[in-house]
Amino acid sequence: MESSAYSLPEVLSRQRSWFQQGNTRAIQGRLAALSRLKAAIKAYEPRLIQALYEDLGKSELEAFMTEIGIVLDELSRTLRHLPAWARPKRVKTVLTHLGSKGRILSEPYGTVLIMAPWNYPFQLAISPLIGAIAAGNTVVLKPSELSPAVSGVLEELLAEVFPPEYVRVVQGGVDVSTALLEQKFDYIFFTGSVPVGRVVMKAAARHLTPVTLELGGKSPCIVHKDADIKLAARRIMFGKLTNAGQTCIAPDYLWVHSEVKQELLKAFRSVITEFYGDKPLMSPSYGKMISRRHFDRQTGFLQDAVAVIGGEFDPKTLKIAPTVLDQVTWDMPVMQEEIFGPLLPLLEYTDLEEVIRVTSAHPKPLALYLFTRDRKVEEQVLSRISFGGGTVNDTLMHLATPYLPFGGVGESGMGSYHGRQSFRTFSHEKSVLKQTNLFDLSLRYPSSKRGLRWIRKLLK
């Protein structure tokens, strides 16, 4: 069901009323809602897998591993730990506050807007939703119009679990997104591109609405001369070709030391054949571009660089073969913007200082990957290049652990989530000091003759 702009104020009004009545406050109620969500996802799993195949060509393995399974794990963990996360936290007080007690209370923001992208249309809608519900908010969820099969199943699934006053899916295109951003929400969580992130932040600024922006950028991968090349090739291609490269933290371009360049290219060819056979475009395990526009954008990148691996594509299926590009320069279109496809530009280096200098001269990436067995090289890269999060000797996997907050820095985003951090993202930490009535320290009052002297001593 598409929601027209005129109905949005009514949607928000009902959710605000539901929230103000205290319907989301009780921890047991939140746990019950999350349990119903978990059961519904399990029941809808076959339909979700089919929808993910229709929208993105995802295999059942990839659909479960990167979308459904990771969400079910997040739900299980939240259900176990939510009572502890939500418990008021006692904090110390200073000597000047003798007799008082300090607490931090986690309270929900109210009505939040979650805007989800098309590349992981289930995971990136439900994962932040889990945090928002756990924290006690009501939610308006806007899925992407570019993944209509998943968006349709999402709306049906969530309508079965939650009343619309609690969680409401609002479908539609850019006009609906624009209308939503004109409303006053208590929090906005957006996952998508950097240009649209700027639009979201500008709209939020009108109401001084806090935001989390999960964006993207050109995430580098560095293969140093001492790396395990065969293992690096497998893990890089896994990270690059999952979802046919349509992943915000996929390796966007590759720095490879000149001494191991040819060995790595040979290993890449072997790995691609191992993963998808001699004809990847025919493989049922290999995904497709989300749309013809995105397909045309990817094939346009092929015009300037030299494809030393792959380069084939099929306009009928919207599939592009795993491709490694050589002889690229920073002024080529493929190096000017985030690729978001199965193309991997390759840059050669001999001096690691050059890698650090050039990478740091560009906008801060969402992720960085380094392959090395040298602890000094690891420390050199991690301490001097700013990035949202990353992995040493692997790709993507930092996103899959709930113990590591996931988020960007600079142009790659602001704020983070996953695990306990999701609960904190959607909660306001309210500080409360309770003062004793048993006695009163008069040092702070203007009538105190020795107040300044004692306060200086106490604060020294």
Q: Point out the residues that are catalytic.
A: 214, 248
CB 168 within 8 Å of CB 155: no
d(CA 217, CA 196): 13
CB 9 within 8 Å of CB 183: yes
* Helix, strand, or coil (residue 170): coil
Specify the residue for token string 């906008």. Answer: 363
Specify the residue for token string 């479960």. Answer: 64
Give the Å distances, CA to CA, from 296 to 60, 67, 328, 341: 26, 26, 20, 11
First to last CA, the chain: 64
CB 125 within 8 Å of CB 143: yes
CB 154 within 8 Å of CB 125: yes
Structure tokens at 75: 């739900």
CB 233 within 8 Å of CB 262: no
d(CA 215, CA 196): 9
Please give the single-letter amino acid code of residue 216.
G
State how far Cα 235 lies from the chain centre: 20
Q: Which helix (H) or strand (E) holds 428?
A: strand 427-434
The DSSP-derived string for 361-407 is TSPPPSEEEEE-S-HHHHHHHHHHS--SEEEESSSSGGGG-TTS-EE
